[in-house]
Amino acid sequence: MWNVFRAELTKLKRPSLSLSTIAAVIFVTGLTTSLLFLLVDSPEGNGERGVRIGRDVLALPSGVTLSFSNAAGLLGIVALCIFAAQTAQEYTYGTLRNLLVRQPSRMKILIGKLGSMKLFAIAMVTLSALLTIILSYLFAGVKDIPTQAWSTQDAQIAVIQTFVNVLLATIGFGVFGMILGLLLRSPISAISIGVIWNLIIEGLLSLFVTDIDRYFPGQLLSIVAAGGSDRISYQYALFTSYGFLLAGLAIVAFLFKRRDVAN
């Protein structure tokens, strides 16, 4: 399993993937942070779904983490695409057969691949967190927002809590992508369905059907990243979303073990 972990990590460190991921993280983090601060005086809002986050809120100890939690959904989509592609392309390129020659245990291959992609997600979220803090101080200076509270112990606790929540949400989205990759065995199909489901279908159904978002993993993971909401608690969102993901992962792991290696 350790050899599978190292082999998968070598694939993830390829410049074509790692550099594009860094670019995506920089874009997502820069976009959410700049919109949050530069539109602070806009009557149309500067947060998700038109929510207005004022200067008084940004000046709080938690203000330095707001753009980071707002970026969690897009970071999750990036993780979903990476996990789905890295899983499904083993079938597309026929490399799974070669892996099984060196490591006959399919479960060890699956666990090793999941472990390396989780480490990749940790690096991705860490980069986003550092960029968020740097850009938050930069844009706060531009918009004359006080940052004294950002250096307090409460701010440090808020940063740690938000980092853990965003990491849990990002890994959750990635596992969702891995489930689709194992189920569909096609990178294009897994990525397109995953993105459409999380960005469009869940959002539309949540607008028209009351409380249905309590049963959507994507919506629940976004609530995990935000640390809970007025309607849905953090604990419910965390345990329910990961319950769905673990059940789905168990099903596709069984299929992965039983199905033919060819697509």
Residue 132: inside a domain, yes or no? Answer: yes
DSSP per-residue codes, 169-218: HHHHHHHHHHHHHHHH--HHHHHHHHHHIIIIIHHHHHHHSTTGGGG-HH
How far is residue 179's CA from residue 221's CA, in Å, rounded to a whole number? Answer: 16
Length of the chain: 263
What is the structure's pLDDT at 253? 92
Q: How far apart are the first and last CA of the chain?
A: 24
Classify residue 263: in a domain, yes or no. no
Give a yes or no: residue 11 inside a domain. Answer: yes
Q: Where are the alpha helices (DSSP H) in the chain?
A: 2-12, 15-38, 55-58, 66-70, 72-92, 95-102, 106-142, 153-184, 187-196, 202-208, 217-226, 234-258
Report the distance separating Cα 150 and Cα 174, nearest Å.
31
- Does residue 97 lie in a domain region? yes
- Answer whether 103's CB lies under 8 Å from 3's CB: yes
pLDDT of the residue at 262: 60
Q: What total of structural domains would you count in the chain?
A: 1
50 within domain boundaries: yes
Place of tokens 């060819």: 262
Sign of CA dihedral 195, 250, 242, 10: negative
Query: pLDDT in tens for each of the 263 residues of the chain?
Result: 677 788 888 888 888 899 999 999 999 999 999 999 988 887 777 777 667 888 889 999 999 999 999 899 999 999 999 999 999 988 887 777 778 777 788 889 899 999 999 999 999 999 999 999 999 999 999 988 999 999 999 999 999 999 999 999 999 999 999 999 999 999 999 999 999 999 899 988 988 888 898 999 999 999 999 999 888 999 999 999 999 999 999 999 999 888 776 65
* Cβ neighbours, 10 Å, residue 125: 25
Number of Cα atoms under 13 Å in the Cβ half of residue 207: 6
d(Cα 199, Cα 37) in Å, to the nearest integer? 24
**Which tokens in the block code for residue 122?**
């940790």
pTM: 0.93
Amino acid at site 36: L
User: Could you tell me if residue 189 is inside a domain?
Assistant: yes
Instruction: Return the residue matching tokens 């965003």.
Output: 166
Q: Is residue 204 part of a domain?
A: yes
**Domain, as residue range, for 62:** 2-257
Residue at 160 is within a domain? yes
What six digits make up the tokens of 201?
């279908």
